[in-house]
Amino acid sequence: MATGAIARPAHEAKEYTGLLAWLLTTDHKKIGIMYLIFTIIFFFTGGVLALLVRLQLAWSDAGILSQDQYNQFFTMHASTMLFLFVIPVGAGFANYLLPLMIGAKDMAYPRINALSLWLIPLAALVMFSSFFIEGGSAAAGWTEYPPLTNGTFMPGKGTDLWILGVQILGISSVGGAINFLVTTMTMRAPGMTLARMPIFVWMIVVTSVLVTFATPVLAGVLTMLFTDRNVGTSFFDPREGGNPILWQQLFWFYSHPAVYIMVLPAMGIISEVLPVFSRKPLFGYKAVIYAGAAIGVLGFTVWMHHMFATGLSAPLTIWTMFATMSIGVPTGVKMFNWLGTMWGGSISLKAPMLFAVGFLFMFLIGGIDGVYSAFVPVDYALNDTYWVVSHIHYVLFGGSVFGIFAGIFYWFPKMTGKFLNETLGKLQFWLMLIGMNLTFMPMHILGLKGMPRRIADYEAGLGWEYWNLVATIGAFTIGVSMMVFIANFFMSLKTAPKTAGDDPWEGNTLEWMISSPPPEQNFDTLPEINSERPAWDARMQRQGFAGRTQQHS
Amino acid sequence: MTTHAATAQAAHLGEQGMSRGMFGMVLFIASEIMLFGGLFAGYFYMRNQAASWPPEGVHEVDPVTGGILTAILVISGLSAHMGVVGAKAGNQGLFIFGLAGALLLGTIFIGGQIYEWFLLMDHGLTAESGVYGSSFYVLTGFHGAHVIVGLAMLLVVFIRGFWRDFTPKRHLFVDASVLYWHFVDIVWVFLYAALYVLV
Ligand code: HEM
Ligand SMILES: [Cu+2]
């Protein structure tokens, strides 16, 4: 259905072909796909750095990396994963899907959209170029705390290039976020009321609000660090009346909301996948939206839980502790919604569903870890140990990355008309699941045994060797799972037949009502939208069921 | 299958609500407010922990010079507003006059600020003069960069308007640019209060 070509106005008629059609495009679908390709390449780049880091830590005195290399690699691993992969990959999915899901032709500002895309490889060039200059890349961890990052301790230009790269990515993010918000608010198809928008769209809305309001604060504080290093200002220099804690305040004011920027899109993805593969509507549609919004708002109040050990005043400490724990509540609500969706459903464990279920279990562990560290006395002991590294990875790898793969397997047929191979997908899932637990579960133990994070080597005999080796084996298992994905991706793209059709999974949302891949202008004719599951409604009608889907909320 | 009677051949699919361009500008300004909010927060953080403010021995900025700059920018905002009124009413003369005034005064403001910077540096207040100098130059520098962006937008408005690109019904770009200009003005008023006046 709905594939007929449309005569386009003359000024749009000039067509590029081949590579140029991609480089010069302002089509949200092409831009979305390029976002995904770039960010997944960065995911693998960050992954290689992680494997090198794990190799160095596999044994005491492993001697694989020098200390300088180690510091650069773990710093660039995290920076790449956070700023070049997890944050922009969400924008990539949103670019491809958001206009389709709300029945729009494109994004509100297509050219700004193209700019947001191309700033990403530019930023990557800036950041990675630092490996080839004297002094190497940034090396103080992705949090770049002064005084370690002042001109005395980090004299190389790597830190400056890092600042520049992150600034460029910030501009890209804010441009994207404003674009998503304006598109959602002004370009919805008739009948697509706010209360009928897919949860994925809602989560992108919350994410975009966070990006719009938090990212500029990072831009400000990065500039202060830059001028401290290059112009002689003294914002973070106590000798001149500055204070390094100021960096932490402003950095975490951004970076705590940023962790939700990193996970809310993945939550949106699994909120689409779980109902489809449970053959039930999402349990508590409105509750999921309100919980998402609550997480967004609360997310702005708790940044100081990263700073308990700096000696905050008692009222601030206690406030932050309770506010942080209270974020567990909306997060728990969502958990119940997802489980309730699966409850009693006829579940089909296809690859997208496996990854979505993997998200639920792994994210749960990460959330529990988080609440532990939010307990101030506990945090005093666990702060800056491997416990925190474990928490980070259960939420970001177990959460975001599993959600992202759920999305890739779910929408690949829409983007290409072909399925990814199901067997290889399952193999990848199990390798990833086993690998991540082998890698990150032992880090709990290492943390409790007092192993600090961000050390290049450790002495034998502290009881850390065994679990470090296990973690490294786990990391390489994840590496293997990624090789399976790469093989699957290229094989399916090349050899799989175009069998997906418009609606391979019997989906709920508008994108499943047009061809795969969708025509250039998305919708020739707009489908009727009477609920938050227009594709389901239409299928029911086709199959002769009288009446519409019951409203549930 | 069921389809809506209306086909989607029109350029806009179900556009609704506030004008698209204006909405984007409002969000952009909101993010800019957070940018300056963060900088102000940093400023007051350091100011609060200082034993005295301004710290002993630094050369203080002069509220009179700052006041003149403030007056120039505020009048420029009023003038830009006149330009919008002109564009809405289709009064080309008023439009040109308002925008030319805003552009001229904005340029004078930037010139005046650069002049003030040099003057202060002559008196020994530089970005290296502790947190007082740091915050003065970084905050006013950030703001100055925004003034330049605002001026560039006003210049485009002026040129397009000069060639009669706007009509009483189509003047979104005028509104959005002038809104941004007002934002830049208002930030300056707060900066003036915080950096020059507050003791
Ligand atoms: C139930 C919700 C959560 C709670 C209560 C929580 C709590 C905490 C606390 C207290 C810390 C500080 C630990 C320390 O440095 O001593 C922390 C660190 C961290 N959390 Fe969470 N968290 C939660 C969810 C998340 C989510 C969803 C993400 C990301 C998707 C996340 C990402 C991080 C990161 C990246 C750090 C470490 C930052 C660093 O120092 O490098 N957290 N979390
Ligand atoms: Cu946090």
For A107, A227, A306, A527, B195, the CA distances from A522, given in Å and listed in that order, are 12, 47, 44, 12, 53
Tell which one of A145, A368, A392, A451 to mutate to probe ligand 1, the residue whose CB is within 8 A of the most ligand atoms.
A392
In a domain, B7, yes or no: no
Domains of chain A (ranges, CATH numbers): 22-542 (1.20.210.10)
Q: H helices of A496-546, where? A: 534-542
In a domain, B4, yes or no: no
Q: Spell out which residues of chain B touch residue A226, defining contact as CB-CB under 8 Å.
A: none
Asked whether A216 and A175 are in contact (CB, 8 A), the reply is no
pLDDT tens for residues A48-76?
A: 999 999 999 999 999 999 999 999 999 99
H or E, element range at B88: helix B63-89
Asked whether B20 and A186 are in contact (CB, 8 A), the reply is yes
A394 CA → ligand 1 middle, Å: 10
Question: What's the pLDDT at A467?
Answer: 97
A392 CA → ligand 1 middle, Å: 6
In a domain, B167, yes or no: yes
Q: Which atom in ligand 1 lies closest to the alpha carbon of residue A82? A: 35
Asked whether A527 and A513 are in contact (CB, 8 A), the reply is yes
Rounded to whole angstroms, the Cα distance separating A498 from A505 reads 15
In a domain, B1, yes or no: no
H or E, element range at A526: strand A525-527
Question: What's the pLDDT at B10?
Answer: 35
Ligand nearest to the CA of A385: 1
Asked whether A1 and A514 are in contact (CB, 8 A), the reply is yes
Residue with tokens 């390798």: A431
Question: Given CB atoms, is B26 within the 8 Å cutoff of chain A?
Answer: no
Which ipTM did the prediction report? 0.91
Mutate to test the interface with A, among B15, B129, B131 (most CBs of A within 10 A): B131
In a domain, B125, yes or no: yes
Closest protein CA for atom 7 of ligand 1:
A370
pLDDT tens for residues A323-351?
A: 999 999 999 999 999 999 999 999 999 99
Provide the CATH number for the domain around residue B50: 1.20.120.80
For A212, A265, A329, the CA distances from A258, given in Å and listed in that order, are 11, 12, 19
- For residue B9 the two structure tokens come to 């051949």
Tell which one of A325, A359, A369, A395 to mutate to probe ligand 1, the residue whose CB is within 8 A of the most ligand atoms.
A395
Mutate to test the interface with B, among A111, A150, A182 (most CBs of B within 10 A): A182
Contact B17 A185 (CB under 8 A): yes
The overall pTM is greater than 0.90: yes
Handedness of CA B16, B20, B26, B28 (dihedral sign): positive
Q: Spell out which residues of chain B touch residue A232, defining contact as CB-CB under 8 Å.
A: 126-128
Q: What is the mean pLDDT of chain A?
A: 94
- For residue A341 the two structure tokens come to 């969706």
Read off the amino acid at residue A194: L
Cα diameter, chain B: 80
Question: What's the pLDDT at A546?
Answer: 52
Asked whether A452 and A381 are in contact (CB, 8 A), the reply is no
Q: Name residues whose C-beta falls within 8 Å of residue A75's C-beta, 6 or more positions apart in sequence.
A: A137, A138, A139, A140, A141, A142, A162
Q: Which atom in ligand 1 lies closest to the alpha carbon of residue A324? A: 5
Q: Which atom in ligand 1 lies closest to the alpha carbon of residue A399? A: 30
CA distance A346 to chain B (A): 26
Contact A232 B49 (CB under 8 A): no
Question: What's the pLDDT at B18?
Answer: 57
In a domain, B154, yes or no: yes
Q: Name residues whose C-beta falls within 8 Å of residue A523's C-beta, 6 or more positions apart in sequence.
A: A2, A103, A105, A189, A510, A514, B8, B13
In a domain, B133, yes or no: yes
Residue B114 sits in which domain range?
19-197
Question: Given CB atoms, is B37 within the 8 Å cutoff of chain A?
Answer: yes
Which DSSP string do the residues of A106-157 spell out, in sequence order? S-S-HHHHHHHHHHHHHHHHHHHHGGGSTT-S--STTTT-TTTTSTTT--ST
pLDDT by 10s per residue, chain B, length 199: 333 333 333 334 334 445 889 999 999 999 999 999 999 999 999 999 999 999 988 999 999 999 999 999 999 999 999 999 999 999 999 999 999 999 999 999 999 999 999 999 999 999 999 999 999 999 999 999 999 999 999 999 999 999 999 999 899 999 999 999 999 999 999 999 999 999 7
Question: What's the pLDDT at B113?
Answer: 96
Nearest CA in chain A to B134: A233
As for how many domains chain B has, the answer is 1
H or E, element range at A525: strand A525-527
Mutate to test the interface with B, among A150, A173, A186, A207 (most CBs of B within 10 A): A186
Rounded to whole angstroms, the Cα distance separating A366 from A395 reads 5
Q: Spell out which residues of chain A touch residue B45, defining contact as CB-CB under 8 Å.
A: 243, 246, 249
- For residue A52 the two structure tokens come to 């090198």
B residues 81-140 lying closer than 8 A (beta carbon) to A: 126-128, 130-135, 137-138
In a domain, B50, yes or no: yes
Q: Spell out which residues of chain B touch residue A9, defining contact as CB-CB under 8 Å.
A: 11
* Least CB–CB distance from A216: residue in B13, B17, B35: B35
